[in-house]
Chain A
């Protein structure tokens, strides 16, 4: 490297050599180098040296720019932790919601199937109904003799078996409708993620994306287990067991899917999006 012959050239070269140093250190070294060189040139001029010789001699006495820069350790650049963008959080939430809601939807279809195979009594336990209130107020379109009093037809004469069957059918229909409706919402979440594949992908990746999978996979079986094993003794009997079985089986499916997905990510030694 050729040593610059002017102070300006020397300072430019020194600035280049200090480019990886802390900016505060670089600024200070440059300032002191310039002060030094100008004072040295002034002293040489005062001693009678010609200006060009004085400048070159002062620079030569100061030393090579790279040698001076080498005396300062390179700045350790610690990258700022990248903040998680709001979009990335929203993507995680959408993914989590999609997983949970779709699982609920699958449990609704399972419940419907259980109702078809095992009967409504297997799928849904007998709802607690206030017979009097039910018979007297639920049907705004009465028929037959009861038409004038607003009493439902299955209540005349009072047929508890028929009433129970109807209640179970209603409860099953409501549950299936609700669960499948939530499942459709879950599918909508996945559709959003498919439609906007780059939305919110910039920050967390890999196993961070698998986290919603894992959370849902752990949470839902626990919910299912608590339904079946926990509070309601009747839930262990055949009566209405399908209600809980459907939730448990759907949760188990999610657990298996999550475990397979996470194991694949670990094996591949890389991080991937579980929805990909």
Chain B
């Protein structure tokens, strides 16, 4: 899958992963890989700017803990973030439908 397509929707993907359960960055990437069947292949570091951006926007909250002697930051979706997920999902469905219509698909 083209990286620019993934990057353009990374915020929604990250929010959707974290809506299931709070996780740290590495676990988010693992979940993205698993749930996409390995199709989401982008530099793993790119998820961190997305996490920080979403937290700054109030869609995520984070807290730091110490795991195996290392500091680890765990992220969770806020109520605001849940609302954003719903809105973005609607947007995505409409967009996908439009793309299908224009390109002659059957959706």
Residue numbers of A with Cβ under 8 A of B are 25, 28-29, 31-36, 38-40, 61-64, 67-68, 71-72
Q: Known interface pairs A33-B48, A68-B49, A72-B49. Does A63 touch B25 (Cβ–Cβ under 8 Å)? A: no
19 more contacts with CB within 8 A, not counting A31-B73, A36-B45, A63-B43, are A25-B52, A28-B52, A29-B48, A32-B24, A32-B25, A36-B26, A39-B26, A61-B43, A61-B44, A62-B43, A62-B44, A63-B44, A68-B43, A68-B46, A68-B48, A71-B46, A71-B48, A72-B49, A72-B52
| 6 closest A-B pairs by CB | A63-B43, A71-B49, A63-B45, A68-B45, A62-B45, A39-B26
In the assembled complex, the Cα of A153 lies from the Cα of B104 at a distance in Å of 128
Taken residue by residue from 37 to 56, chain B's Cβ proximity to chain A (1 for < 8 Å, 0 otherwise) reads as 00000011110110010000
Q: In the complex the two chains form, is A36's CB within 8 Å of B46's CB?
A: no
In the assembled complex, the Cα of A242 lies from the Cα of B52 at a distance in Å of 78
Minimum Cβ distance to chain B for residue A27 (Å): 10
Residues on the A chain within 8 Å of B70, using CB: 34-35, 38
Contact partner, A40, options B24, B26, B43, B49, Cβ 8 Å? B26
Q: Interface size class for chain B?
A: 10 to 19
B50 nearest in chain A by CB position: A71
Residues on the A chain within 8 Å of B48, using CB: 29, 32-33, 36, 68, 71
In the complex, which of the residues A40, A62, A67 has the most CB atoms of chain B within 10 Å of its own CB atom?
A: A62
Minimum Cβ distance to chain B for residue A150 (Å): 93
In the assembled complex, the Cα of A36 lies from the Cα of B45 at a distance in Å of 9
Q: In the complex the two chains form, is A63's CB within 8 Å of B52's CB?
A: no
Q: In the complex the two chains form, is B46's CB within 8 Å of A31's CB?
A: no
In the assembled complex, the Cα of A71 lies from the Cα of B74 at a distance in Å of 20
In the assembled complex, the Cα of A36 lies from the Cα of B28 at a distance in Å of 11
Q: Known interface pairs A62-B43, A63-B44. Does A35 touch B49 (Cβ–Cβ under 8 Å)? A: no
In the complex, which of the residues B43, B45, B49 has the most CB atoms of chain A within 10 Å of its own CB atom?
A: B45
Residues on the A chain within 8 Å of B45, using CB: 33, 36, 62-63, 67-68
Tell me if B71 counts as interface (CB < 8 A to partner A). Answer: yes
Tell me if B72 counts as interface (CB < 8 A to partner A). Answer: yes
Taken residue by residue from 65 to 84, chain B's Cβ proximity to chain A (1 for < 8 Å, 0 otherwise) reads as 00000111100000000000
Q: In the complex the two chains form, is A36's CB within 8 Å of B71's CB?
A: no
In the assembled complex, the Cα of A67 lies from the Cα of B72 at a distance in Å of 22
Q: In the complex the two chains form, is B46's CB within 8 Å of A63's CB?
A: yes
Q: Known interface pairs A25-B52, A28-B52, A71-B49. Does A35 touch B44 (Cβ–Cβ under 8 Å)? A: no
In the assembled complex, the Cα of A38 lies from the Cα of B26 at a distance in Å of 10
Minimum Cβ distance to chain B for residue A8 (Å): 14
Q: Known interface pairs A62-B45, A67-B45, A68-B46. Does A35 touch B52 (Cβ–Cβ under 8 Å)? A: no
B30 nearest in chain A by CB position: A43
In the assembled complex, the Cα of A71 lies from the Cα of B48 at a distance in Å of 9
Q: In the complex the two chains form, is B73's CB within 8 Å of A32's CB?
A: yes
In the assembled complex, the Cα of A163 lies from the Cα of B44 at a distance in Å of 105
Residues on the A chain within 8 Å of B52, using CB: 25, 28-29, 72
Minimum Cβ distance to chain A for residue B54 (Å): 13
A63 nearest in chain B by CB position: B43
In the assembled complex, the Cα of A162 lies from the Cα of B52 at a distance in Å of 95
Residues on the A chain within 8 Å of B26, using CB: 35-36, 39-40
7 A-B pairs whose Cβ atoms sit less than 8 Å apart in the complex: A25-B52, A28-B73, A31-B71, A36-B26, A36-B45, A63-B46, A71-B46
